[in-house]
Amino acid sequence: MAKDSLFQGKLVSEQEAEHITRVEELSYELKVEEVMASNPFTVTPETTMSEVLELFRQKRISGAPVLSGEELVGIISMEDLIKCLQNSDLQSTVRTYMSTRLLTIRNTDPSIEALKLFVNSHFGRLPVVNEDGKLVGILTKGDITSGILKALQHDYQEEEVRRYRASHLFEDIESDRSSLILRYTIKQGDFTRGGAASSAIKRALIRLGANPQIARRTGIAVYEAEMNLIIHTTNGGIIRVEIEPKQISITVSDDGPGIEDVSLAMRPGFSTASDSVRELGFGAGMGLVNIQRCVDSMRLESVYGRGTNLRLKIFLQEQEIVGEGK
Amino acid sequence: MNLQQVIAELDLKPFTANQDYAGIEPSCGYASDLLSCVMAGAAKKSLWVTLQAHGNIIAVATLLELSAIIITEGAIPDPSTIEKANQEGVILLGTTRPSFYVTGKLWELGLRCQPD
């Protein structure tokens, strides 16, 4: 089903649909009942317009549903009141001025449905009814806006809480030596997932409270190692990252084919990458050089025909300690 | 100079969802099609000029926290690359001009920086 755009009521193309923002997502996720005003002030058809004027003024509202017994029979708005004032007719009743052309929305509908109704009808408010057709609330465009803002704020706070918890991870755990180990299995030739492990590791470090420069260095080193597993190995390999408050240890291992000449491999610009891989911009012969530049210690062991083992360490200064809430 | 001005001056076409371009101030620029060179050379918040348009440029831009990628020579990223970019908040801008022209123009506009 084609989705209506929020603002124009026009169709959204496939291309535009890829650009759906978190706000638009929320308008699909948030139900009307989560953003509406419950227990709205109501009037009856017999209420006088002067009482309506008083109600609007005192409660600072601009519209109210009209109930006859339990049944919703109309809606009275500021516009109706203005019309009444122009006629100097405040003694008449709501029945004369209310709008009976009723558009309602269900409490369980997503708020996007209400937005569509607002756009298509030019109504300022919608009575909200439950499955039995009973009035349960009233909804304005402003209610949807503030509901979405609240939800965005909530998303933001959740990430803050997550980050706070992670950054204190090691604080409450007692041991002689605590560490967090992250493992990633990298498949040979899987270019579409290239960089996924290094991005995840960088994100984890940021959550743990790592200094952005440390997270960046780790991210770059792991990215190069990850791409090496994708490009050069026979069966892919494993990346293991051990995070301790004062150091990050990375081990990258694979089972082949191994490096024929390790010192040659370490030379800037030396590469064994194929032409097709070079076309993608890999194989600059800078990968291992970049890794060395980013870490404090690097040990590369390889047995040609057997596999390669790369061990990296990044040491953290006192002010860079991770997971202890510093 | 902010990204809004860069987009206007160079007539760039965004591939990704609109962002507050006026609020993004690129720190520097970097031009290369070799990803490892970019990894080694591009400073944080740089503009990266390249004709590579495949999915791996997004990982590079994310890890380096680049301001935007300018894809030259009319190369068009495929939908999965654009989707990944939108997920990560990476800005992809396109032009039919070659990298040399774009880099020269950026320099002319005052985006000059020394590698650190």
From the list B18, B35, B44, which residue is nearest A282 (CB)? B35
Task: Find the residue in B nearest to A21 (Cα).
Answer: B17
Overall pTM surpassing 0.80 (yes/no): no
Same domain, A187 and A293: yes
Q: Which residue has the higher pLDDT, B116 or A200?
A: A200
Domain that holds residue A68: 14-147
Q: Looking at the domain assignment, is residue A164 inside a domain?
A: no
Q: Which parts of chain B sit beneath pLDDT 50?
A: 116
Is residue A1's pLDDT more than 80? no
Token pair belonging to B25: 């101030």
In terms of domains, do A122 and A223 share one? Answer: no
With residue B40 as reference, give the H or E element that holds it: helix B35-41
In this structure, the answer to whether residues A201 and A141 fall within a common structural domain is: no
SS (H, E, C) chain A: CCCECCCCCCECCHHHHCCCCHHHHHHHHCEHHHHCEECCCCECCCCEHHHHHHHHHHHCCCEEEEEECCEEEEEEEHHHHHHHHHCCCCCCEHHHHCECCCCCEECCCEHHHHHHHHHHHCCCEEEEECCCCCEEEEEEHHHHHHHHHHHHHHHHHHHHHHHHHHHCCCCCCCCCCCCEEEEEEECCCCHHHCCHHHHHHHHHHHHCCCCHHHHHHHHHHHHHHHHHHHHHCCCCEEEEEEEECCEEEEEEEECCCCCCCHHHHCCCCCCCCCHHHHHCCCCCCCHHHHHHHHCCEEEEEEECCCEEEEEEEEECCHHHCCCCCC
Chain A, chain B: beta-carbon pairs less than 8 Å apart:
83
Q: Which CATH class is domain B3-108?
A: alpha beta
Say if A200 falls within a structural domain. yes
Chain A residues touching residue B65 (CB < 8 angstroms): 216
Residue A175 in domain: no
- Indicate the number of domains in chain A: 2
In a domain, A1, yes or no: no
* A326 — pLDDT class (breaks 50, 70, 90): low
Give yes or no for residue A300 having a pLDDT over 80: yes
A19–B83 CB contact, under 8 Å: no
The alpha carbon of residue B78 is apart from the nearest alpha carbon of chain A, in Å, by 11
Residue A262, domain member (yes or no): yes
pLDDT at position A30 over 60? yes
CA distance A151 to A164: 20
Asked whether residue A313 carries a pLDDT value surpassing 60, the answer given is yes
Between B11 and A178, the more confident residue is B11
Cβ contacts of A286 on chain B, cutoff 8 Å: 34, 36-37, 39-40
Q: Say if the Cβ atoms of A192 and B34 lie within 8 Å.
A: no
CB-closest option in B34, B63, B88 to A281: B34
- Please give the pLDDT value at position A321: 79
Q: Which pLDDT score, from 0 to 100, does residue A283 have?
A: 85
Residue A226: inside a domain, yes or no? yes
- Give the ipTM: 0.75
Residues A143 and A188 in one domain: no
Residue A173 maps to a domain: no
Residues A103, A216 within the same domain: no
Same domain, A25 and A68: yes
Structure tokens at A65: 């549903």
Domain ranges of chain B: 3-108
Residue where one domain finishes, among candidates A147, A163, A192: A147
Is the same domain home to A143 and A184?
no
Q: Are residues A142 and A184 in the same domain?
A: no
Kindly determine whether residue A192 and residue B18, on different chains, have CB atoms separated by under 8 Å: no
Comparison of pLDDT for A11 and B35, the residue scoring more: B35
Residues A254 and A295 in one domain: yes
For A64-105, the pLDDT digits (tens) are 999 999 899 999 999 999 999 999 999 999 999 999 988 899
Closest B-chain CA to A198: B63
CATH of the domain at A203: 3.30.565.10
Q: Is A191 on the interface with B (CB under 8 A)?
A: yes
Q: Same structural domain for residues A49 and A120?
A: yes
Both A133 and A192 in one domain: the answer is no
